[in-house]
Amino acid sequence: MDDRALFLRVLGRFAGDYRDLAARLHAALDAGDAVLAHRIAHTLKGAAGMIEANRLRQLALEVELALKAGGAAPLALIAALDEELARVLAEVDALLAAPEMPAPAPASSPANLSTTSPAAREDLARLRDMLDLGDGRAPDLAAQLRPRLLASMGSEKVAAFDAALRRFDFENALALLEQADGR
């Protein structure tokens, strides 16, 4: 199984396992079952980390910590978690619904990002602009776009891209992104 197929399988399992999580969390909170609510938030935190949904992971951690401290998680925090989970699930659904991509191109011929949706192209253009300007927020946006980047670039190229971001070598990261886009 290639990296993309494995990643899509993991995403499919995430979607299946966590589609009703918001309802389960609300039911536990409404029933006053803080232990179950804590366990749900903890499980989501790990699963979100596995698919690199970093904002969702952070929100789940905040809910988990609030419940662990013995208090109720603030309603605004629960609402933010619900919203981010819905966003991540929509992104996962879009990736899973995308037509099967042809076999990966040879390493000398990078994948092309230009075949993505208009919204994805806008996000990628914003990432390119941030990298070009040396904007320190670029790694955060790249983390949000990671599933798209993996699906389009493949794990080897994304690993090189991530390494460049960790070194704050935005020039190299931009070059890798543009290479994958066929520019």
CATH 1.20.120 residue ranges of the chain are 3-97
Per the document, the length of the chain is: 183
- Separation of alpha carbons 50 and 109, rounded Å: 29
**Residue 113 · residue 152 · CB < 8 Å:** yes
Q: What is the CATH number of domain 3-97?
A: 1.20.120
Query: Tens digit of pLDDT per residue, the chain (183 long)?
Result: 467 777 888 888 999 999 999 999 999 999 999 899 999 999 999 999 888 899 999 999 999 999 988 877 788 899 999 999 999 999 999 888 876 544 444 443 344 555 556 777 788 889 888 888 888 888 888 888 888 888 778 888 888 888 888 887 888 888 888 887 765
**Residue 98 · residue 147 · CB < 8 Å:** no
